Structures are given as structure tokens and as C-alpha cells.
Chains A and B, each alone.
Chain A
Amino acid sequence: MAKKMGFLVNVDRCFGCHTCEMACKNVYQLEPEVRWRKVYEIKEEYNLPERSFMSLACNHCEDPECKRVCPVKAYSIREDGIVLQDQSRCIGCKMCIMACPYEVPQFNTKLKKVEKCHMCFERLDKGQETVCVAACPAEAISTIDLEEYYQNGILDSLPGFPDPDITKPTTRFIKPRTGIQVRRDNNG
């Protein structure tokens, strides 16, 4: 059976250090404004102090909108489910940027072309971890084969993550747990 690769994002572990994002930039020497991976702070409502983060890159969707709308067929899906973009084909029409619900494709203003996370497929093929996974100090991200991986309590969405029904992302989440907070204002 074919593989279906996806990122598993452990929000309980992630502490928002952005190391994954910078490690990715470092290896691929990205332009400053180009972000293949982004760490999102899950909004802190001031009456509910939370500090949770989602580290997201391309969700390598099963029904990728980028692939559907791209007029030059730059996008393809590998056998293992990784969504690749062939930058040599890109003409910079930005359709994919409009169509992706997750702001994944990034416009490189120097090359005037789009680029995005390819799940370090060359490294995976060599049996190595992706750059972000290898760099994460908290083991908060991993790559999993959805056909094989099963664990109780993994979610296909979190509040703030656009409807997974649109493109069927392969990203999965482990949600955060909350410790005991003894704050002075709930403390008299």
C-alpha cells in the first residue's frame, strides 16, 4: 500500500521557539520573507492566558488546491503523498497562493516565482529526518505515514486551522494539556 506522509504536530510539546522555522531557512537559505514553515501563536485571550503554538509547513494535502489551480502543472503528488512544486515550471501567476487555505505557497520576490515546503523529500528518501524535525529541541514535530500511524487522540484540526474538508491536509495534531495555574488574581 502506498504511503501517505504527513507532519504530526505535538502542540503539547511545542513551546514556540521557532527553531524549526529557522533551521529550514538555514538549510535552504531562503529569502528573509519566504517562510516554508511558520510557527503560529494560538491567540492568547487575555482572560484565558494560554501559550500554545502550531508549527506548520505545507500540509501535503490529499486534494491540494495548489495543484488544481496551477496553470503550468508545477505541482505533483509523489507516491508517498508529498506535494512537490517544480519551481522551474512556475511562471509566478500566484494562483496557488490565492487557492491554498493555509498560506503555504510563498512568493520569492527575487526569483518572481513561488516556492514551498517539500518535506525534505531528498532527506526522507535517504532515511533522514526532515530539517525541521531534526532541529526541534522538543520533539514536537515528526513525519508520519498516515496509513500506518495510529494513536489515540490525534486530531486533524485545531481551532484556528481552516476546515480540513477543503483540501484534506495530512497534518495531524496532538492538543495541549493544561497544568495547574496558581495566579495571584484567582488567589485573592
Chain B
Amino acid sequence: MVLQDKITRHVCPRNCYDTCGILASVRNGRIIDVQGDPKHGYTRGKLCAKGYCYIRRVYSPERINQPLRQLGRGTGRWQEISWDEALNIVCEKILTIKDRYGSTLPICLNKYSGNFGLMNFALEGLFNSLGPTTQVLGSPCWSAGLDAQMFDFGANINSDPEQLERSKLIILWGVNPAWTAVHSLPYIFAAQKNGAKVITIDPYFSETAKKGDWYIQIKPGQDGSLALALAKIILENGEADIGFLEKHTSGWNLFKEYLGSLHLEELSENCGVQKHVLMELADLISSSPPVFIWAGFGMQRYVNGGQNVRAIDALGAITGNIGRSGGGVHYASLSTWKLFNYNFLNSSYKNRFLNINNFAHEISGAQSPPVKMLWIANRNLFRQDADQKELVRALKDIELVITIDQFHNETTYYSDIILPTTTFFEEMDIVPGYWHHWIALNEQAISPIAEARSDLEIAKSVSGKLNNLRAGTCSFPEEMDEKYFLDREFSPETYDILGIDHWSLLENGPVKADIPTVSWENKKFNTPSGKFEFYSETAENIRLPALPILKQPSRCGEKYQLRLLNPHSQHCINSQFRNIDWLQTIKQESRIYIHPITANMKNIKNGDSVKIFNDNGEFFIKAYLAEATPKDTIIVLQEPGDMTQNLNKLFQGVTTDMGNKCTGNPGLAIGENFVDISIS
């Protein structure tokens, strides 16, 4: 067969702000290079370092080429089996369980954000076609911030981030786009060129901070104190936008009173920023409209995370920046996500939902019937979850663990069956993002590598096998192709917003959704009052503070006094990309950032091997002394290089204050992890 040379369009499906448009050049059925899609208006023909390495992932010699069965979990004795054998094992187990318990509830799916394509939801679709099953609910990541903005604004939307360019003051609050969203840097630089100032607020001096005009080192989790202090000063200086506040907000008087009751000294002490700096910042904010505040995910991963975001929202409101072109408080947008129908998520059964952030306990606690089969997809559960010890313990009652992945990892180690899956170059999909407003088509560039199958194909083959073994077991439409499934994701309204008649037209290039460029420009909010709500009854009704009030992060105990932060690293997304050889050549040795004074107290010198520990476990790593680190905090980037140790073992799984409203469960307060260090 002669294969035609072609260029195909793609979308990077990673859990990332940028959701880049990609072009792949295909020759003789093989991708020969990848480029940014110049027709993508936000990423504008460029990728990040990880993106340019995709060929090494697609053609990695480490890819799992065919279904594997492990002869004893954790033994590493893998046996290659055919798809038919694998499907038989899986489906017979489903049927046995169903017969034994008279229900499919003992079958559990744990899936999260490894891929954000619409077709990756086929696995939920499969489960929802079996009967009532056990699934996970919630997000470890952004839950608290989503709720916070939901209470204040009534929806999770943002301005088109291209608006950054129009800003006069950009506040990058708990976000490090230089590492985690490189495509936003050009917009920030453009704003700087137009005279805008950039303030970065972060507990540690990040790469983004280096590029800004101001860097404010904040005590971890004290973002609320800082925001409230700034709001208070601005109000007392008579710089508040009273017009906006009186007309478009609700609960302003109560909040004004509350601000009056706060003491600046206390707030300054809390957040670790001196009063005169607070004054200067407040001046800068009131004198440089429009102010674009980018509230990152970092600062909401605390027990007061949601309150932190609400306080920042309040600061945006007091200064009248909400609804202003080039201004606003931006966290994440679900606008383009919500354009699609997510048919796979529809279920006519009463599923049992476990809290994704308390999974280890809930899976072993689940009774009548217990969970007997665990299916893991789109995530590396045994690397990323909290409370690893309990998770491993919970496995012993699970009769079959199935994992879908491309590579061996901590999760496959604990699995009985691995089903090899495709990369996004080997399947067709639509991938919405959560930051910019573009939608693009992901075409299929090449045939699946070896025997890999897409999530959709896996769902179809399981369904086929089940019905083969016992007709009528599964209602998943096994005969249909991805075109059918994509078709039903689009409604006429969606096509309207995208300005196309059919999704296949996206072959010609990404399109920008016709949604408001400036969020809340018309000052009509989706809250019950239709206004920006300082006072949220919605929050109050679920026993949260009605006002954005000061809440403290956890305090350290007697025994463990150092706060451990683990921000995202530059060249990995959680445990993805760690095994890409090109990236390994530029990776720095993993290290723990310690303030020299802290290190001195522990007799640790630069380059020493250090043990990080608490009652949950220990972790060994090389010391790197840097004054850019706070004295009461140590920092280890999420660089899951080796599989022999796992930082998450040290984290028991404290949860955030908010998250129930938008994601069904609170998020993980991963910033609330206290440890001690010693020389090892």
C-alpha cells in the first residue's frame, strides 16, 4: 500500500493551560516532525519543549505494544497476551462479579486528566453502559478556586487571555506561566512593551518572577491576607470604584464593614509583606487600570484555598477591574468545555461515586457491595494520589486491576492487566481547553502503533466481547466509529458559537469560540442576585463563610515544622514526559530547595543528600541552598524521575475548603504538608 504524505492537525490533550494546536508531517505512514499550528490564534504556531518532543513519545521503544498480564502484582513478570485473551479476562471478571453480587457496582473506574479529549470519556461511556458502577468524583486540582469564582461570579469563565496585552498591570498570583503556560509569555511581554508592569506573587522566586517588574514573596497560603490588605488600603485611600461596587455588587456594605474591622499590621504579619510595600502595591494597583489578575492553581491548594481566591476576586471588584477590557480576575474557564454534550457521561443508572481525593479510604470502605475490580485510565494513580500507603493496602481486596497506558509506571506495577493505548496522533478527537477560547480538531496522523487501541476502541471492544459472552450485557454502541461519537457531541448552538456547520470543517484550522472576549463586560453576573457577590448565600447554604473573609492555612505542628511545597516542574506534567529521552538530556538533577539559614540549622550543606520525612514516610533527595526559598518552607518540584520513591507518600490527603459545588468534592490541599529534614 502506498501511503500518502500528509500534514495532519492535532491538539495537545495534556492538562495544561495552553492546549496547543499541532501539525504533524507524515511520510510513509510515519511522523517525521511536529510543528505548532500557525492557524491556532493563541499558540500561534509554536509549541513548548515537551510538545516538540512528541515524536520521541510516539515512537519510544518503551511503549507497551500489546496487552500484558502480570503474573502476580508487583512481580514484574509480564506476559504478553492477545487482545482477545485480555478482553476475555476482563469481561469474564465483569460477568463473574455481576453474577456474584447481582450488580455491577463492584466495578470501579478511576480516571482523571491524562488526556482531555472528548473521546477519552468513552471509558465513562463504557461504564455507564454496564449498569450502576462505582466511579470517582472530584478533582485533585482546581476545585476550591472553581467554587470560589462560582460563588462570586456565578460561573467559571474568563476573558480571552489575549486580553493580557491590553493590561497596564498584570498580577501573576500563584502561577508560573514561564514553566506551565509558555504561550502566555508573549502576551505578557507585549503588555510590558506597552508600558505595563508585571507583579509576581509566589512563595518562591520562580522563573516567571524573574521576568516581572515586582516579585512579592508571600507566606504560603496567606494570599487572602495579602488581597484583603490591598483591598483595605485601596478602600481607605478612597480609590475604590464605588460606582461599580454600588451598582453591580451585592453585600458590599457588609464587606466594607468587614474590611474596616481588619488590622493592617495583622494582615501584613500574616502574609509576610511589610506595610510600606503593601502601600506601594496598593498605589500601583489603583493607579494602573486595567489590572489583569491571573490567579493560579497554587494558592488554592490550602485548607483556606477557596477563601484565598474569593479575597482576590474581591480585590478585583473593589478596584473596578471586573468586566474591564484588559482587567479582571482570571482563574480558569469552562466556557469552551461546556460547548460539548459529553454524552458518555450520561447514565441511566445510579452510580456510586467515591471521592477522588479520599479514594484509598473510600474504596476499602465501600460496602454492599465492595469494590472488586478497579479500572485505571488517564492517570498514574499510584504516583499522583495522596495517602499511597492506604492505597496499596486497599488493593488487596481487589480481584482485578486493569490499567490503560502507554508506558510502565507506578500504577502498572500494581496492575494485573495493562491495555496499551494510542497517543493522540493515532486517534481522532476534539480537545477543549480551560484557558484560551480556541477549539481545534485532532486528526489521526498514523495508524496505532503496534497493537495500541484508543480509549474509544477499547470501550467498543470490551462491549463487543461482553455481548459476545452474554448478549445484552453492555449497551455501548460498539459498531459506531468516532465520527458518529463526535457528531453527537455538537449541538446546533455549539456550531453557532464556533461559526461552522460541521466539526469536520475544523480540518481547515482551529476556530475561536464566539464567547465574550471580556468576561462580565455587561456586568450581568450568573449569581442568584445577578451581581458580583461579596455576600454569597450559595456559599452560606453549604456552611461556608458568606463573605470573602480571612481564613488561615494550617499551622505546622510541634513535630514537623517545615511546609513542603511541590510545584509543577518545567519539563513534566505530573508523571507525564519523564521518560522522554530528549527531555532527559536537559533535566537537572532533582533537588530540594532550602533556605541557607534553615539548612544551617539542620547542618545541611549544598549538595548533601537529604531525607525529607514525616509520620507518613520519607524521601531522599539532594540539597540545593537558595535564598529564593522561604525559611519555613522547602520546595521539591514534581519531577518524578525515579520510580523507587514517591513524594506523595508523605502527604496524607488534607482537603481544601471548597470544591463541592463545582466538582462534587473538595480539592487536595497539597500545600498543607508538613515535614522535617535531616542529612541522610
Report the bound CA distance from A118 to B189 in whole Å. Answer: 29
Within 8 A of A (CB), among B562-621: 570-571, 581-586, 588, 595-597, 606
**What are 20 pairs between A and B in contact, CB < 8 Å?**
A17-B48, A19-B46, A19-B48, A26-B33, A32-B581, A46-B626, A49-B205, A50-B210, A52-B210, A135-B36, A136-B46, A137-B183, A138-B185, A138-B186, A139-B189, A179-B209, A179-B213, A185-B627, A187-B217, A188-B274
Chain B residue with the shortest CB-CB distance to A176: B210
Chain A residue with the shortest CB-CB distance to B595: A185
Given contacts A17-B182, A49-B627, A49-B628, contact A187 B49 (CB under 8 A): no
Report the bound CA distance from A169 to B431 in whole Å. Answer: 45
Given contacts A19-B47, A19-B48, A29-B55, contact A51 B189 (CB under 8 A): no
Within 8 A of B (CB), among A40-75: 41, 44, 46-52
Q: Which of A21, A26, A49, A183 has the most CB of B within 10 A?
A: A26
Give chain A nearest CB distance to B120 CB in angstroms. 25
Chain A residue with the shortest CB-CB distance to B624: A46
Residues of A at the B interface (CB closer than 8 Å) are 13, 15-19, 21-23, 25-27, 29, 32-33, 35, 39, 41, 44, 46-52, 134-139, 176, 179-185, 187-188
Contact B48 A179 (CB under 8 A): no
Give chain B nearest CB distance to A26 CB in angstroms. 4
Q: Which of B56, B585, B595, B606 has the most CB of A within 10 A?
A: B585
Contact A135 B52 (CB under 8 A): yes
Contact B596 A46 (CB under 8 A): yes
Chain B residue with the shortest CB-CB distance to A14: B211
Give chain B nearest CB distance to A15 CB in angstroms. 4
Contact A39 B205 (CB under 8 A): no
Residues of B at the A interface (CB closer than 8 Å) are 32-36, 45-53, 55-56, 178-179, 182-183, 185-186, 189, 198, 205-217, 219, 272-274, 277, 570-571, 581-586, 588, 595-597, 606, 625-628, 630-631
Give chain B nearest CB distance to A181 CB in angstroms. 5
Give chain B nearest CB distance to A108 CB in angstroms. 14
Chain B residue with the shortest CB-CB distance to A135: B46
Chain A residue with the shortest CB-CB distance to B184: A137
Contact A182 B207 (CB under 8 A): no
Give chain B nearest CB distance to A30 CB in angstroms. 8
Report the bound CA distance from A180 to B577 in whole Å. Answer: 34
Chain B residue with the shortest CB-CB distance to A12: B211
Give chain B nearest CB distance to A162 CB in angstroms. 21
Question: How many residue pairs between the two chains, A and B, have CB atoms under 8 Å in the bound complex?
Answer: 143
Top 4 nearest A-B pairs (CB, nearest first) are A22-B52, A49-B628, A32-B581, A51-B210
Chain A residue with the shortest CB-CB distance to B218: A184
B210 interface neighbour in A15, A18, A19, A23, Cβ under 8 Å: A15
Chain A residue with the shortest CB-CB distance to B593: A46
Report the bound CA distance from A138 to B177 in whole Å. Answer: 12
Contact B586 A39 (CB under 8 A): yes
Give chain A nearest CB distance to B633 CB in angstroms. 10
Report the bound CA distance from A187 to B49 in whole Å. Answer: 36
Q: Which of B50, B208, B628 has the most CB of A within 10 A?
A: B628
A35 interface neighbour in B34, B49, B217, B585, Cβ under 8 Å: B585
Contact A32 B585 (CB under 8 A): yes
Which applies to chain B's interface (DSSP): helix, strand, loop or mixed? mixed
A32 interface neighbour in B185, B213, B582, B606, Cβ under 8 Å: B582
Beyond the given A19-B46, A51-B210, please list 19 additional residue pairs across the A-B interface where CB-CB is below 8 A.
Answer: A15-B185, A16-B178, A17-B182, A18-B49, A18-B571, A21-B586, A22-B583, A25-B52, A32-B56, A32-B582, A47-B627, A49-B628, A51-B205, A136-B46, A139-B189, A179-B209, A181-B217, A182-B217, A183-B628
Give chain A nearest CB distance to B627 CB in angstroms. 6
Chain B residue with the shortest CB-CB distance to A15: B178
Report the bound CA distance from A24 to B571 in whole Å. Answer: 17
Could you say which residues of chain B place their CB within 8 Å of the CB of A183? 205, 215, 217, 627-628
Report the bound CA distance from A71 to B550 in whole Å. Answer: 73
Report the bound CA distance from A81 to B583 in whole Å. Answer: 31
Contact B32 A29 (CB under 8 A): yes
Could you say which residues of chain A place their CB within 8 Å of the CB of B581? 32
Contact B630 A184 (CB under 8 A): yes
Contact A137 B186 (CB under 8 A): yes
Contact A17 B47 (CB under 8 A): no
Contact B52 A26 (CB under 8 A): yes
Q: Which of A46, A136, A188 has the most CB of B within 10 A?
A: A46
Could you say which residues of chain B place their CB within 8 Å of the CB of A46? 596, 606, 625-627
Report the bound CA distance from A180 to B274 in whole Å. Answer: 14
A182 interface neighbour in B182, B215, B571, Cβ under 8 Å: B215
Could you say which residues of chain A place their CB within 8 Å of the CB of B584? 32
Q: Which of A41, A138, A179 has the most CB of B within 10 A?
A: A179
Give chain A nearest CB distance to B169 CB in angstroms. 14
Report the bound CA distance from A48 to B596 in whole Å. Answer: 12
Q: Which of A19, A32, A181, A182 has the most CB of B within 10 A?
A: A182
Could you say which residues of chain A place their CB within 8 Å of the CB of B189? 13, 138-139
Report the bound CA distance from A111 to B625 in whole Å. Answer: 41
Report the bound CA distance from A35 to B586 in whole Å. Answer: 10
Report the bound CA distance from A138 to B584 in whole Å. Answer: 23
Give chain B nearest CB distance to A126 CB in angstroms. 16
Could you say which residues of chain A place their CB within 8 Å of the CB of B183? 137
Contact A135 B47 (CB under 8 A): yes
Contact B207 A137 (CB under 8 A): no
